[in-house]
Amino acid sequence: MNKDRYLKHILILVFLSCLCFVVGNGVLSLTNPDEVFYAQTAKEMIQHHSWMTPYLFGQPQFEKPILLYWLLRIGFILFGISSFGARLFPAIFAGLGVIATYLLALVGFKNEKKAFLCSLILMSFGIYIGLARSVFTDLIFSVFILFSLASFFWSYVLDSGKKIGIFLFFIFSAFAVLTKGPLGFFIPMVTVSLFLLIKKDIKFLLKISSLYGFGIFLLIALPWYFSMWNQYGNNFVHEFFYNDHLRRLIEAEHRKNDTWYFYPLSTLSCIFPWSLFLVFSFLSLFKKIKLREHPLRFFLVCWIVAVFIIFQAAHSKLVSYIFPLFPALAIIIGDFIYDKLSLDSRSRLIFYLSLFTNFFIFLIPIGLIIAMFKFPSYISSRIPIYSLSAVLLIFSALNLFFMLKNKLSRVIGSLLLVVPLSLVILFSMHNDIEPYISSKKACEYLVNNHKLNNIVLCSKFYVRGVRYYTGKEVAVIDISGKQFFSPHPVIFLDTDLKVRNFLLGQSVTYCILKKGAVEDIKRIANNGLELNILNKIGDEYIVEVDQSKAKGLI
């Protein structure tokens, strides 16, 4: 392998990662409901001078382990309490994940160009760019899983550094456990065990280095858990291990997602424009495995199977849960495309896959323009929609031109750019998008124009954002609704009587609500309470309820 070439590739990947994941990360405000959940937790940890106990709404919360909050606090120290500071480390880890994918493919295939293509394909996944620019545990967790599995594979196939590879396997698994919980250990162990059992080489792990590595794992992973158990006892155990782990196995938090086909269809949609390529990549992969070429291919299959085994049976399903398998998918797709074009630069299969993909790209602008005229109230400027449509049509035309000229490598290069450039254009629409996904502007209006001396009443979806952007006490209105999956220590009003008593308990109540909640309060306030809709920003109604006229009715 040419060291100068793969060092050059790494530098290019670092530069591209900065463009794709870091630049402009502070333009869009933190979004509801999850980004503000994590950021508010780190913010309250600062207020409580705590590095160990996560806080939310003034009380300890144990929905996730501690590592993300440490990173958020460091980001806030460097850049202040801001969206850029919050998103700094997810972006950094996304870049590290791209480089780790390159190195894993390089070790497995010993081909710099193929490894480079695999890493670029990962960067072109919309879900990868999206999570890289968001405050979630999933990307950081998945990158630690990637580090762990890459370290194992390195130790398995290389003659030197076997002990170091095993140690790193356990170390990165420990950090994954500190990021999202026990799955940080189970996913790598199930993958590796499945791989070694089928290879009839389980003795590879039954070495003294594995025992030492497991000891290092325990030293890194367990102290925070023991600390929380020692301080909070059964409250910690019940919330973290039962409510946020075991309960998700047996009960669906998002019931519409609890189907057998959710993960396969979600995977195909999240890797567009490579969806069709993935299907044929698997067909090609199984043929190559029969020929016993490259242990990496078989390892990738074990990796994907392990993730599906662990998550498919659980009733709570989100596409971000299976995010650890996306680097493996990128390598499989890159391996397939590179081999096909190397054997035949005019491959019919690549041609037809590109043609059908190009057809779908052509349809997207049509759908966008139809949606723009059908839902005009959601769009203040049509210029970004027209810009995105024009860019996609240009891509479609260029791809068709390259295909007719049998320049399929250029078609692949074009497909690598479709999603990143489309997201850049969508990103330019942040002023249109932000009011519908973030409570910042609604909160700024309320804080700048009214004195918030009482508890702010919110719809359930907005309560975390309102707390983050106002810093005020909050309550939730959700008539006949359900508590949060992980209960929050906030006033939860789910009946008319509770809402009326709450409103009568404050001279003036300011609210940030969804339309349905506004109708509920209108009905409840009809008997003596005065309700004024002060403003509407996005889908958020800013409401004032004055109970001064109701004093004679109390």
pLDDT in tens, 346-370: 788 999 999 999 998 888 888 878 8
Distance (Å, rounded) from C-alpha 350 to C-alpha 223? 51
339 close to 345: Cβ distance less than 8 angstroms: no
- What distances in angstroms separate CA 502 from CA 430, 521, 546, one per listed residue? 36, 11, 12
Give the 3-state secondary structure of residue 31: coil
**Token pair recorded at residue 187:** 């996913």
User: Which CA distances in Å does 481 have to 36, 416, 429, 439, 510?
Assistant: 22, 44, 33, 21, 21
> Given this model, what pLDDT does residue 54 score?
95
Cis amide prior to 33 (ω within 30 degrees): yes
pTM for the model stands at 0.92
Q: Among 330, 416, 276, 413, which residue's Cα sits nearest to residue 108?
A: 330
Closest CA to 465 of 449, 442, 447, 485: 442
**Measured between alpha carbons, how far is 543 from 532 in angstroms, rounded to an integer?**
6
Q: Give the residue among 297, 262, 299 at the shortest CA–CA distance from 281.
A: 297
Structure confidence at residue 177 (pLDDT) = 97
In DSSP terms, 177 is beta-bridged to none
pLDDT, residue 553, reads: 42
Which residues, including other chains, have CB under 8 Å from residue 132's CB and lie 6 or more apart?
Answer: 20, 21, 90, 91, 93, 94, 95, 139
Task: State residue 395's pLDDT score.
Answer: 86
- Distance in Å from the first CA to the final CA of the chain: 82
Give residue 554's pLDDT: 40
The candidate with the shortest Cα–Cα distance to 328, out of 304, 312, 363, is: 304
Enumerate the H helices of 405-472 as residue ranges: 408-427, 430-437, 440-449, 463-470
User: In this structure, what are the phi and psi dihedrals at residue 285, rounded to the nearest 5 degrees?
Assistant: -60, -45
Tokens of 338: 């590179």
What letter does residue 49 receive in the DSSP assignment? T
C-beta of residue 94 within 8 angstroms of C-beta of residue 38: no
Contact between 136 and 31 (Cβ < 8 Å): no
List the chain pLDDT tens, one digit each, 554 residues. 567 778 899 999 999 999 999 998 888 999 999 999 999 999 999 999 999 999 999 999 999 999 999 999 999 999 999 999 999 999 999 999 999 999 999 999 999 999 999 999 999 999 999 999 999 999 999 999 999 999 999 999 887 778 899 999 999 999 999 999 999 999 999 999 999 998 888 888 888 999 999 999 999 999 999 999 999 999 999 888 888 878 887 877 777 877 888 889 999 999 989 999 999 999 888 887 775 667 899 999 999 999 999 998 888 888 888 999 999 999 999 999 999 998 887 788 999 999 999 998 888 888 878 877 777 666 655 667 777 788 888 888 888 888 888 888 899 998 998 888 888 777 777 777 888 899 999 999 999 999 888 999 999 999 999 999 999 999 999 998 888 877 889 999 999 999 999 998 888 999 999 999 999 998 888 777 888 999 999 889 999 998 775 554 44
d(CA 516, CA 138): 32
Place of tokens 């994940």: 97
Contact status, residue 394 vs residue 422, Cβ threshold 8 Å? no
pLDDT of residue 463: 95
